[in-house]
Structure 1
C-alpha cells in the first residue's frame, strides 16, 4: 500500500475577501475531500497537510486589535491555533464524507512540530506572506503603524510577511507512520508545523515564525518514504514565462529542469516557487517517488496522469503541451 501526502494551501480555503469566514472556509474544505476519500478507497495511505497563511494573519490581526484587553498571541501559538481549527475542518469533512459512503476509518488531526535553526537567515529577511491581500496604500499604512514587514504577493496584492525558516525534521514522523499503518487518515504539518528549536538537552523551544507548508510537507513525505507528494493549487499546471507571450505550461519535467527554472526566477517567490522546490527536493531524495502540482478540482485526473505538472527523477518525455 503506497503513501501519499496531499498538501492544500491556506489560500485555497479563502476564495476571496468576501468568503473568508470560518463557515465559508469549512464549506470550501468540504468540497475538497471527495477525491481524498477516493484515494483511500483506491488503497492509498493518506496524509493531508494544509497551509495557514491567511488564517495565521487573521489571528495576529485580531491579537493586535485586542491588545488593550488581552495579551498578544505569539506567532508560534497562532500557528498552533490554526492547526487545531483547520485540522478540525478537515477531520469533520473527511469523517462526514466517509459516513456518506458507508465507510469507517479513523481520522486524526495531529499537532505537529517542525524543527528549525534559530540561526536560519530567514529571521533577518521575513518573506512568508500571511493574512489578507491588501492594497499597497493600506499595507504601507499598517506597516508604519504596527512595524510590519510587507511585500507584494505574486501580483495579487500586498501582505504582511514573517520569517519562514527551513525545517530540518518533523518531530512526529514516527507517530504519523504508526497512525497510517493502523489505517488512519492523518491531518499533519498544518501550516508547515509549529516551528521549534531543539535545545542540547532535548527540550524544545517555540520559535516565532511560519514554516512553508510545501517545504514541510515535502520533508515529511521524504521522512515517511512516501511514493507521492501532491500539491493542489489554483492552476492545472505549472507554467514558465507566466503571464508573458512566451508562457508555456509544463507537463513532465525532471528535478534538474525544475531547479534550473527556479534558479532563473521563473516562479513567484511566495506562490509557485516553494511548491516546485518542495516537490523537486522530495523527488531528488526519495527513490521511486513522484511529485505533482495541479488544480485541486482535478485530483482524479492528476492521479490518472492526465493533468498536473509531474516532477520526476529520470529524463521524461515531452516537457510541455
Structure 2
C-alpha cells in the first residue's frame, strides 16, 4: 500500500503554536515516530507538509529588515521552508527508524506547483498571511509592491492570491525516487507556486492550499490512500456545540452534502474535507482525516473520518 501522508504546518510546531528551532525538532520527532510505525507494517509512505508557521517567521524577518534589505519573495520563503522542514523530518525519521532497527533512504525535494497566471485569485488577493502591522510598518512593504489591507483596530495584514494547483512540475523526480524505494518529502506548503510564460517558469507571490496540494500529489504519485493529519481525531459535525458529533466512515457524496450544509470551517477543516473528497472522486481507494495518535489505524481505515467512494 502506498500512502500519501500530509502533515499540517502546526504538526511541526508546539501545541501552543511556538516554532523555535527546538520546538520544530521535537514536534517532527513525534510525527516521524508515527511514520516509523507505518513503515514497520510495510506501508510505503510519501510525505508532504504545511509550512504556515515557518513562512510566518520568515515574513516577520522580512518586515523587520524591510528598510535595510529587500524582502525575500514569497516563493523563496516557500523554498526555504521546504528544505528546512525536510531536513528536520529526515533527521527525525532516521532516529525513529534506528530505534526500531530499521533503515530507509530518504530524500527531500524542493517542489514547484504550476498555477494558472489567469487564476481569479491574482486579480483580487484574499489569503491573509503573516502578522498585523501598524500603518507605518505596512507602508514600507506596500512601497515594495506587496498588497496589504487595513483590518481596523488590529492594523494592516498582507493578502496574497491562493490559486488552484494544476500540476506538480517536479513530479517525475518524486515518482522516480519513490519507485526506487526512497521515502520522499515533497510539495511542502502545497508546492512553490509558479506560472508559465514565454520564457519558461517563474515564481509568483501566492500561497497554494496545502491540503489541495496534498490531494494533487497523492494522485500524481499513484497513492492508494491519502491521510490528512490534523490536531483532532476526526472531522466533526456541529463543532464546538453540545451536539458535536465525529464523522466516521462516510461516502464522498454524503461528505460533500455535509460540507455544503456548512459543517466545516473554510479556514480549518473545510480544505481538508475538500482534499479528501477530491482524492476519492478522482480514483483514490479512500482518504482519512485524523490525528497523529491514530495514524496507523487510520491508514487501515479503522480510525478517523474515512472517506470512501459512493456506492
Query: Do these two structures clear the TM 0.5 threshold for a shared fold by scoring above it?
Result: yes
Aligned to 2:145: none
Q: Distance in 2 between matches of 1:142 and 1:87?
A: 36
Q: Secondary structure at the match of 1:33?
A: helix
The yes-or-no answer on 1:35 pairing with 2:34 is: yes
1:279 deviates by: 0.9
* 1:242 and 2:239 are equivalent in the alignment: yes
Deviation, structure 1 residue 302? 1.6
Alignment correspondent of 1:56? 55
* Matching residue of 1:319: none
Q: d(CA) in 2 for partners of 1:16 and 1:171?
A: 33
More off after superposition, 270-279 vs 251-260: 251-260
Match of residue 8 from structure 2: 9
CA distance in 2 between partners of 1:139 and 1:241 (Å): 34
- The 8 Å contact of residues 240 and 266 in structure 1, kept in 2 or not, is answered as yes
In the TM superposition, residue 124 of structure 1 has moved relative to its aligned partner by: 3.6
Query: Is residue 192 of structure 1 aligned with residue 190 of structure 2?
Result: yes
From 283, 301, 306, give the equivalent of 1:310: 306
| Number of the residue aligned with 1:275 | 272
The answer to whether the 8 Å contact 1:231/1:292 transfers is yes
SS where residue 32 of structure 1 aligns? helix
The question of 1:221 aligning with 2:218 is answered yes
CA-atom RMSD in angstroms: 2.3
CA apart distance, 1:100: 2.4
Q: What is the CA-CA distance between 1:160 and the residue it aligns to?
A: 5.2
The offset of 1:20, in angstroms, is 1.9
Unaligned runs of 5+ residues in structure 1 are 133-137, 152-157, 316-321
Contact 1:116/1:167 (CA < 8 Å) preserved in 2? yes
Unpaired runs of at least 5, structure 2: 143-147
Q: Conserved in 2, the CA contact under 8 Å of 1:254 and 1:313? A: yes
Q: Deviations 1:30-87 (Å, cap 9, x if unpaired)?
A: 1111121222222222111000111112111211111222221011111111101111
C-alpha distance in structure 2 between counterparts of 1:171 and 1:18, whole Å = 32
Does residue 71 of the first structure (1) align with residue 70 of the second (2)?
yes
Please tell me whether residue 174 in structure 1 is matched to residue 172 in structure 2. yes
Count how many residue pairs are aligned between Structure 1 and Structure 2.
301
Q: 1:126: which partner in 2? A: 125
TM-score, normalization by structure 1: 0.86
Secondary structure at 2:301's aligned position in 1? coil
Question: TM-score under structure 2 normalisation?
Answer: 0.89
